[in-house]
Amino acid sequence: MEIIFGLLGGLGLFLYGMNVMSTGLQKAAGDKLKSIISMLTSNRFMGVLVGAGVTAIVQSSSATTVMVVGFVNAGMMKLTQAVGVIMGANIGTTITAQIISFKIEKYAPIIVGIAVAVWLFTENRKLKQLAEAFIGFGILFIGMQFMGDALRPLRSSQAFRDLLVSFGDHQALGVLAGFAITVAVQSSTASTGILLALATEGLIPINSGLPILFGINIGTTVTAMLSSIGANRTAKRAAAFHLTFNLVGTLIFILLFRDPLYRAINVISPDSIPRQIANAHTIFNITNTLILLPFSGLIVKFVKKIIPGEEEAAQGVKYIDDRILETPSIALASAVKETLHMGNVAKDSLENAVAGFFEDNQKSIDESFRIEKVVNELERELASYLVKLSNTNISARNRETVDGLFNTINDIERVGDHAENIAELAQYKLDNQLNFSDTAMEELKEMNELVIKGYTNALSAMRNLDGSLAMKVIEIEGKVDLMEKSLRANHISRLNKQECHTSSGVIFLDIISNLERISDHSSNIAMAVLDEIKTNGHK
């Protein structure tokens, strides 16, 4: 029991340290993660580099592939882009194994002590975030030492040593053991850490360690497979590609390259089994990628055969997915894009409502009502997503951006409500066959064009963080306010002169009131853009 408790305690410290290190690195990287992802093209070679880079930052190939499944499910990434990133993730995850294979446990308390001192006394945000990463780095090695100490008594157990040695003679058992451990701890890095701890204590020979390592590489795909449950068909294919890629690579090495791999790592690091395991991990994943990258198109065709059907576009929400929350800076960029998408959907509702009014078009009125339901659904989904995002480890600056998005989606939802009001007025006009004077219709068209221009500019200002365009929106809002007062006075005058029907007059006043409120919300969005520029120092 003492061995089990010691191993679990060490594993817990290892996982916690890895999480703290990952969080610190992600905070320090900040917007660089967004720029790394933006480098993605259909070029698979670039995708491999991006996958390796992102995994080196988030410290988990499982987290990267889960995030990729989220991107694909949200329609932000095509399957052809995802395959390169998945391959690169396998390479990126070997970096941690390389680091922990060096015996620097004795320096871990010093690293933690210095990093904590820096974290406590520095005011520099970047330095504080890097210190946090080093705290996690030190705790990770302390966890490794705990695992090593817990496993040390097993050196005197011949039965345990015979079991591990048998994995070299029966490779399938070794692969199964590595797979099972990785599925249990849900982290290939943690599984590799346990394997390295066994090697450090001299409990496992390299010919037994290699099959376990191959099993670890297969086990890491399970997390992404589980995350694809409930996702669209294309996201399922991305997860299936990861599993197929790692399975094929393992078979190639077991059948063809096991002996060459064994000879290579003996030449590189002849006197250290932990280093041999780390080097084998790296060589396996790099070689696997080089061999299979030219054939990735065939693997894609295979997964399309086992998961048939047309690729699906995202329904409702287009850019947000809970899997992306693993990297908050990218999740925030996705939330901004989704907010802009919601804004354009609300604009469609408004344009259909106005068209229904001016053209007495029942189809446009019905479409406005339908789209308004989509706006409400987007608002609920986005609000829920922003709450989850605000509970992640985001920076103070990004938290202010999230707070601003809460206000913006509320303004957009209100635009949708006013569009629905106009559609209801258009329906009343059509049902009762009400007529308006030519002057009244021209005034409404003029005001509508100005309001639509202001709202469109507000969305463009948000998309490009354009301060000058945001100021134009505020100027337009002032003109709309004056126009609303002028049109109201003109129309009351026409009513007094009995130039308009009373029912038509009431609808006219309701419409200009709704248009004026839409302009107010456009101004609110523009003000949020100016606040974002002021807070975060954008141009």
pLDDT in tens, 96-118: 778 777 767 777 888 889 999 98
483, part of any domain = yes
On whether both 271 and 334 belong to a single domain, the answer is no
* Residue 231 contacts residue 252 (beta carbons within 8 Å): no
Which of 93-102, 281-290, 528-537 comes out lowest in average pLDDT?
A: 93-102
Confidence (pLDDT) at 480: 92
On whether both 85 and 182 belong to a single domain, the answer is yes
* Residue 46 contacts residue 84 (beta carbons within 8 Å): yes
321, part of any domain = no
On whether both 93 and 230 belong to a single domain, the answer is yes
* Residue 86 contacts residue 68 (beta carbons within 8 Å): yes
Secondary structure of residue 394 in the 3-state scheme: coil
On whether both 341 and 263 belong to a single domain, the answer is no
339, part of any domain = yes
Structural domain count, the chain: 2
On whether both 354 and 440 belong to a single domain, the answer is yes
Query: Is the backbone of residue 317 left (phi > 0), alpha (psi -120 to 50) or beta?
Result: beta
58, part of any domain = yes
Alpha carbon 527 to chain centroid distance? Answer: 27
On whether both 128 and 184 belong to a single domain, the answer is yes
The model's confidence at residue 388, banded by pLDDT at 50, 70 and 90, is: very high
38, part of any domain = yes
Q: Does the pLDDT at position 321 exceed 60?
A: yes
Q: Which of 202-211, 376-385, 496-505 has the highest mean pLDDT?
A: 376-385
Last residue of a domain, one of 306, 339, 365: 306
Q: How far is CA 85 from CA 40, 64, 100, in A?
A: 9, 8, 24
Confidence (pLDDT) at 539: 46
Residue 300, both tokens: 């894609």
Residues in Cβ contact with 1 at an 8 Å cutoff, skipping those fewer than 6 apart: none
Q: Quickly list DSSP for 195-255.
A: HHHHHHTT-S-HHHHHHHHHHHHHHTHHHHHHHTTTS-HHHHHHHHHHHHHHHHHHHHIII
Q: Is the pTM of this model over 0.75?
A: no
Confidence (pLDDT) at 40: 58
On whether both 420 and 528 belong to a single domain, the answer is yes
Mean pLDDT of 227-245: 82
Q: Does the pLDDT at position 301 exceed 50?
A: yes
Q: Quickly list DSSP for 356-384.
A: HHHHT-HHHHHHHHHHHHHHHHHHHHHHH
On whether both 355 and 209 belong to a single domain, the answer is no
Mean pLDDT of 131-135: 86
Q: Does the pLDDT at position 314 exceed 60?
A: no
Which of 262-266, 326-330, 518-522 comes out lowest in average pLDDT?
A: 326-330
Amino acid, single-letter form, for residue 470: A
On whether both 67 and 214 belong to a single domain, the answer is yes
User: Whole-angstrom Cα distance, residue 254 to residue 287?
Assistant: 13
316, part of any domain = no
User: Whole-angstrom Cα distance, residue 190 to residue 17?
Assistant: 11
User: Whole-angstrom Cα distance, residue 500 to residue 40?
Assistant: 60
On whether both 300 and 155 belong to a single domain, the answer is yes
Is the pLDDT higher at 123 or at 369?
A: 369
Confidence (pLDDT) at 416: 94
CB-count exposure of residue 450 (10 Å: 0-12, 13-18, 19+): middle
Q: Does the pLDDT at position 17 exceed 80?
A: no
Confidence (pLDDT) at 76: 65
Domain that residue 501 falls in: 327-536
Give the long-range contacts of residues 398-402, CB within 8 A, separation 24 or more.
Answer: 398/328, 398/329, 398/332, 400/535, 400/536, 401/332, 401/336, 401/532, 401/535, 401/536, 402/332, 402/335
355, part of any domain = yes
On whether both 297 and 394 belong to a single domain, the answer is no
414, part of any domain = yes
Give the CA radius of gyration of the chain: 30
Closest to 219 in 3D by CA, of 198, 264, 250: 250
Last residue of a domain, one of 306, 335, 353: 306
Mean pLDDT of 112-133: 85
Residue 351, both tokens: 């344009």
Here the CATH number for the domain that contains residue 470 is 1.20.58.220
3-class secondary structure per residue, 299-316: HHHHHHHHCCCCCCCCCC
Mean pLDDT of 353-360: 92
On whether both 196 and 257 belong to a single domain, the answer is yes
Closest to 90 in 3D by CA, of 218, 206, 209, 253: 218
